[in-house]
Structure 1
Amino acid sequence: MDTDRIAARLTRLTREHLVPGAQLAVHHGGRTWTHEVGLPPDAAVPIGSITKTFTATVAMALVSDGDLELDSPISEHLPDAADGLTLRHLLSHTGGLPSDPDDVSTTSLRRHVRQAVRELHPLHRPGANFSYSNIGYSMIGHLIEVATGMTWSEAVEAVLLRPLGLRTRFTTSADADVVSGHAVNTATGRAVPVSQSLAPVDAPAGALAASATDLVAFGRMLAGRGPRLIDPDDLELMRTPAPHAEPFGMADGWGLGLALYQRDGVRWVGHDGTADGTSCHLRINPADGTAVALTTNGSSGFALWRELVPELVAAGLPVADYDGMRGLRHPIPPPPDCTGRFRNGDVEYAVRAADRERLALTVDGEPFADLSLFDGLVFAMRDSDTGDTNQTGRFLRDPGDGRIAWIQIGGRLARRQVATLS
């Protein structure tokens, strides 16, 4: 592994993407190497949805201890939950839940989850498909509280952070010492500091802040190279593709709290996370114990990561990432039933014909992307703000009548709501 080359590339990419600071940590070949640009090595960066993997790991530790069961209906604890909904479904985002509830009107995780269960509109029956869900991880946080008698944050500290010696912070804490994120505008060349806005009831889905070194230590445990906090069979379940978990637009597969990625026949696992003005990434190769973590405190950090991955590969570190663009083959004209309105929770996606070859997508009435369709009803997205074209999505047909019934973007399903738009 050419560390000099990696350090030089990271420094250059950080500058080009206007990211104020970045940390890169790599454990490979029996040693850990780090490089930082604009941030101290121990700075805690809000890691957004990588928090879900921490929450999943605590839940699986409780499964190993017999305090939670993967396949028992969660209606035992949440009476209004959908029939057959289980912890396994929640961990793998196959529960049919929308991403977020329509409204947050409480600071109590228990009341928040119970209200959401009563009021949310399922996208599909549990276990039938994949749709990335934040509220699903709030439910897992509630189950952790029921099983342990502790708050979610207390349980994360006791079960995971202290045993691993991690210096992770909680962004929802009033005195949290975390790095500020930045909203980056590459057109104007400005990076403006932003505060973290995650509600406490959403903490199990995204409230942790960590250094890249902390993430690598966590990743080594998930590879089976650290302290044994989870039974090896349960740890392997986390890294194994779950049935019907097809996270199109996000990863090559999904386990229990971990995304799955492929490179040259080798399976990597991990998770990505964005908080307010940050973008962070974790990849783990369970076969050899390699772990790679990047934290950035700029909203353009995702684009930096996408450019960094091939640089890591060229430098002798064949880390895997998801690239939906590689599967695009033959452009097709959009079928008429692509257009319409689709909903996931309180988020509305509207699709209309832009011309004979392209579709225009708005989200909650705001321009989001132009869509170019390919066979299989897969589309490439041209971002309305940045012009980037490195994201993909797809339409899905109803198996019953054959009509397009869902759109899937960023792993989230949205169900058709109204008649076709003109």
Structure 2
Amino acid sequence: MDTAMHHDALHDLLSELAARHQVPGAQLAVCHEGERFVVHAGMADTASGSVVGPDTAFPVGSLTKPFTAGLAMILVADGDADLDEPLTGQLPEFDAGALITLRQLLSHTAGLPSDVPEGTSDVGGDRAVWVARHCRRRDLAHPPGTVFSYSNVGYVVVGRLVEALTGMTWQEAIGAILLEPLGLQPAFVAGPVRTGRPVAAGHAVQAARGRVVPMPEQELPEVELPNGGLALSAADLLMFAGLYFADCPDPKPLDRTTANDMCFDQLAAVAVGPYGMAEGWGLGWARFGDDGSHVYGHDGTGDGTSCHLRFDPVIGSAVALTTNANTGRTLWEDLAPRLRALGLAVGDRPELQPAAQPAGTSRPAAPDACLGRYTNGDTAFEVLRGDDGGLLLSFGGAPHSELLCAPDLRFVMRELGGGARSAGRFVTDPATGRIDYLQITGRLAARA
């Protein structure tokens, strides 16, 4: 098959799936067997009528984190930071830093709460003040170094460390030290520096009402820029992934050793891994299995956007998808097996459909030991028994999802009304057999 046919087939595939999932606009970038293909389709903003081009930036949400990790690792390689020293020496405002290292922050094992509390944006972009207020020893959700628990808070701290070491804001540093040397023009969804580069608007697909509603602004507090503030194209993501290919001998502004270290699983010694998100975690990158291969990458969602990146550093293949709708995740779930059939490793994830029950039988009831209240920082979950005997998950005082639980305590979380699915599990203490944790999308909440 020649290059034009490859390009056309990918464009047709992207257009087909975007229409199926009511995604207004998307980009797909692929590196496979030494060839690169970038296709795009649809509208960047349904309100203005602007179309998606190859350089349109999409808010990539948490896919910002590997870039922040790469920036921090450049500072490690330069001798300005240490992966394994407690951080209070360089960040005296970081009280919990007496117990926490940069390695733990980058691999989500520092024990910090998962999410930035609501109503804490009064400091603007002053991360030093924010860290002093919210990252004390008494704020820890877990003992550092013991479990994986995905943490946006941890990457706020990494952003603050970058500022302390460089004398620049995180926005200035990510541009000057990492992105601009790659020839990438950064765009940001918040903060004092944006860009003249076109940025796609997010969209909320309201399938039941047959509506697609544009969301012109990303509601991200400025303090959270290091964990979710970048806007990039699929081609930009593909270029960044290429730094980690084994056949890239001089991946400046990183170096070969640093790039390799970031793709090394850090979770061998932790008791609870990242079930529901990945199989392992490096320094900024998630690790996925795929038919014996190790695939790395990250996902990111914003307000009405969903973006995905996977790469195999050994064989040098990669795929990046950017979309501007909340249904972009289901587009990715449909796209992944189609790409796998073409020979691309895209990473396996937990099954998001509950296991089928034999005809004439009912789903076994989850044990009462699952019921109760679980907390992570300021976030509290309540697991309740539903009227049908199944489990309901409530937070914010209202039922949110049903938990379709298997006998081994893994479950599919299915949102009430919307139907969105995520994988999770209850985790038992091996010593006592007691169910002590609830894990959802990598976030680990302890029984209260």
Question: Structure 1 residue 344 and structure 2 residue 376: aligned?
Answer: yes
The counterpart of 2:393, out of the listed 350, 361, 386, is 361
The counterpart of 1:265, out of the listed 292, 315, 321, is 292
CA distance in structure 2 between the partners assigned to 1:87 and 1:332 by the alignment: 43
- Aligned residues of 2:353 and 2:412 also touching (Cα < 8 A): no
Query: Which deviates more from structure 2 when the two are superposed, residues 151-160 or residues 362-371?
Result: 362-371
Change (3 A) 1:214 1:259: same
* Aligned length, in residue pairs: 416
How far residue 29 of structure 1 moved from its aligned partner, in angstroms, is: 1.8
Residue matched to 2:53? 40
The counterpart of 1:87, out of the listed 92, 102, 111, is 102
> 3-state SS of the aligned residue for 2:408?
helix
Superposed, which structure 2 residues align to 1:242-281 within 5 Å? 242-243=266-267, 244=270, 246-281=273-308
Q: For each residue in 1:187-244, what CA deviation from the matched residue of structure 2 results, as whole angstroms up to 9, or x when unmatched?
A: 2221111111111100000000001111100110132536332232222221111122
- Aligned residues of 2:243 and 2:259 also touching (Cα < 8 A): no
Residue matched to 2:130? 112
- Aligned residues of 2:62 and 2:300 also touching (Cα < 8 A): yes
How far residue 120 of structure 1 moved from its aligned partner, in angstroms, is: 5.8
The counterpart of 2:438, out of the listed 403, 407, 410, is 407
What is the identity, as a one-letter code, of the residue corresponding to 1:15?
Answer: A
Residue matched to 2:425? 394
> 3-state SS of the aligned residue for 1:42?
coil
> 3-state SS of the aligned residue for 2:95?
coil
How far residue 57 of structure 1 moved from its aligned partner, in angstroms, is: 0.3
Residue matched to 2:346? 319
> 3-state SS of the aligned residue for 1:187?
helix
The counterpart of 2:237, out of the listed 215, 220, 230, is 215
How far residue 321 of structure 1 moved from its aligned partner, in angstroms, is: 3.9
- Aligned residues of 2:95 and 2:137 also touching (Cα < 8 A): no
How far residue 341 of structure 1 moved from its aligned partner, in angstroms, is: 1.2
CA distance in structure 2 between the partners assigned to 1:326 and 1:341 by the alignment: 25
Residue matched to 1:238? 262
How far residue 93 of structure 1 moved from its aligned partner, in angstroms, is: 0.3
How far residue 274 of structure 1 moved from its aligned partner, in angstroms, is: 0.3
CA distance in structure 1 between the partners assigned to 2:364 and 2:181 by the alignment: 53
Q: For each residue in 1:333-376, what CA deviation from the matched residue of structure 2 results, as whole angstroms up to 9, or x when unmatched?
A: 31212111111222221110115652011121233211122133
Give unpaired runs (5+ residues) of structure 1.
418-422
Identity %: 45
Residue matched to 1:193? 214
Change (3 A) 1:368 1:223: farther
Query: Which deviates more from structure 2 when the two are superposed, residues 114-123 or residues 156-165?
Result: 114-123
Change (3 A) 1:328 1:185: same
What is the identity, as a one-letter code, of the residue corresponding to 1:172?
Answer: A
Residue matched to 1:420? none
- Aligned residues of 1:168 and 1:211 also touching (Cα < 8 A): no
CA distance in structure 2 between the partners assigned to 1:34 and 1:235 by the alignment: 24
Give unpaired runs (5+ residues) of structure 2.
43-51, 358-362
CA distance in structure 2 between the partners assigned to 1:232 and 1:336 by the alignment: 51
CA distance in structure 1 between the partners assigned to 2:38 and 2:410 by the alignment: 38
How far residue 318 of structure 1 moved from its aligned partner, in angstroms, is: 3.4
- Aligned residues of 1:183 and 1:192 also touching (Cα < 8 A): yes
User: Alignment RMSD, CA only?
Assistant: 2.1
Query: Which deviates more from structure 2 when the two are superposed, residues 62-71 or residues 169-178?
Result: 169-178
The counterpart of 2:18, out of the listed 9, 14, 39, is 14
Question: Structure 1 residue 26 and structure 2 residue 30: aligned?
Answer: yes
Superposed, which structure 2 residues align to 1:149-164 within 5 Å? 149-164=167-182
Query: Which deviates more from structure 2 when the two are superposed, residues 367-376 or residues 206-215?
Result: 367-376
Residue matched to 1:378? 410
TM-score in terms of structure 1 length? 0.93
Query: Which deviates more from structure 2 when the two are superposed, residues 1-10 or residues 278-287?
Result: 1-10
Query: Which deviates more from structure 2 when the two are superposed, residues 295-304 or residues 285-294?
Result: 285-294
> 3-state SS of the aligned residue for 1:370?
strand
Change (3 A) 1:209 1:181: same
What is the identity, as a one-letter code, of the residue corresponding to 2:329?
Answer: F
TM-score in terms of structure 2 length? 0.88
CA distance in structure 2 between the partners assigned to 1:69 and 1:332 by the alignment: 50
CA distance in structure 1 between the partners assigned to 2:354 and 2:255 by the alignment: 36
Residue matched to 2:88? 75
How far residue 325 of structure 1 moved from its aligned partner, in angstroms, is: 4.4
Question: Structure 1 residue 228 and structure 2 residue 249: aligned?
Answer: no
Change (3 A) 1:278 1:388: closer
How far residue 282 of structure 1 moved from its aligned partner, in angstroms, is: 0.7
> 3-state SS of the aligned residue for 1:375?
coil
Residue matched to 2:48? none
- Aligned residues of 2:11 and 2:41 also touching (Cα < 8 A): no
CA distance in structure 2 between the partners assigned to 1:161 and 1:101 by the alignment: 26
